[in-house]
Amino acid sequence: MIEFAARFNSDKKCLEYLAYIKWSAGFKCKKCGHTGAQTRRNYSRTCNKCSHTESATANTLFHKVKFGIQKAFFICFEMSTTTKSLSANYVAERFGVTEKTARLFMHKVREAMKSSETMPMDGVVHIDEFVIGGKEDGKPGRSYDTSKKKVVCAVELTDDGKVKRMYAMKIDNYSSKELRKLFDAHISPDADVTTDKWRGYLPLMKEFNITQDESNGGLNFKALHTMIHQVKSWIRTTYSWVSEFHTDRYLNEFCYRLNRSQAKSGIFNNLIYRMVDADKKYQSEIICN
Ligand SMILES: [Zn+2]
């Protein structure tokens, strides 16, 4: 934190860093395609041919951030490195912005945390479903309570049974068609997958290497169930209510941090690169209800 705060001690330092990332492969004018440009004092670039000026934040998720780029960097830092829950309410108070502003920006950060889906799990993988929200009944297994959001979740295990990576996504029901979404996005056909005896996985056996095992109340999927417990309690303590629309975003945030917990020193830089690479999101796309 001290190192971070010293490095990004002004809006200028943050803009300089954004410009460095954004144009690391060279400048190309968005209007005319020309590659020659002048650098302005605020690190914007002005095209030598058509004079179009592009700011360091334009076309990134920092576009038009209302409360200053430095605060935005600090929120990114907290969201990428926290080990605790970080609600919009907490961020609003801590950084002196409204809760609505905090919530909107935090959703943009979660967009950047979304998996690129380019590194499918190919080792030992355990998969199960769970529910979040609604009234907790404590019973294991598939819940059909419509007030709850259904989630399918995969963990990849190390040789000694520890969690290496995790992915989770919201599903509408427990059918093969819905379960397949997780497989298509995150599971390699080479992965050695184990699920419980749910028949929804049977049709996927043609394309994926799936073994089914008794759940035994979760005992046969211990690491997976520990993670499920953690993500559920994280969501419960941070967000009293998770809308249908935002469920995947919270899951992305949780998995993003978890999957980089061994590479903590690089996580902030990774997040800023993702914020710069992502197309700018307008408010209407971010907040739905
Ligand atoms: Zn131009």
pLDDT value at position 133? 78
Q: Which residues pair with 155 in a beta bridge?
A: 126, 166
Instruction: Give me ligand 1 centre to Cα 278, in Å.
Output: 22
Q: What are 221's two structure tokens?
A: 């999927």
For ligand 1, the distance from its centroid to the CA atom of residue 63, given in whole angstroms, is 20
CA 215 to centroid of ligand 1, rounded, Å: 61
Distance 46 CA to ligand 1 centre (A): 8
| Distance from Cα 73 to the centre of ligand 1, integer Å | 29
Ligand 1 midpoint to CA 47 (Å): 5
CA of 37 to the centre of ligand 1 (A): 8
Q: Distance from the CA of 281 to the center of ligand 1, in angstroms? A: 23
Residuewise pLDDT in 10s, the chain (289 residues): 888 999 999 999 999 999 999 999 999 999 999 999 999 999 999 999 999 999 999 989 999 898 999 999 999 999 999 877 788 999 999 999 999 999 999 999 999 999 989 999 999 999 999 998 766 555 556 667 777 899 999 999 999 999 999 999 999 999 999 999 999 999 999 999 999 999 999 999 999 999 999 888 777 899 999 999 999 988 887 776 677 778 899 999 999 999 998 877 789 999 999 999 876 565 556 665 3
245: CA distance to ligand 1 center in Å? 39
Backbone φ, ψ for residue 154 (5° rounding): -125, 140
Cβ(281)–Cβ(111) below 8 Å:
yes
Give the β-pairing of 192-195 and 45-47: unpaired
Edge-to-edge strand list for the sheet holding 45-47: 37-39, 45-47, 53-54
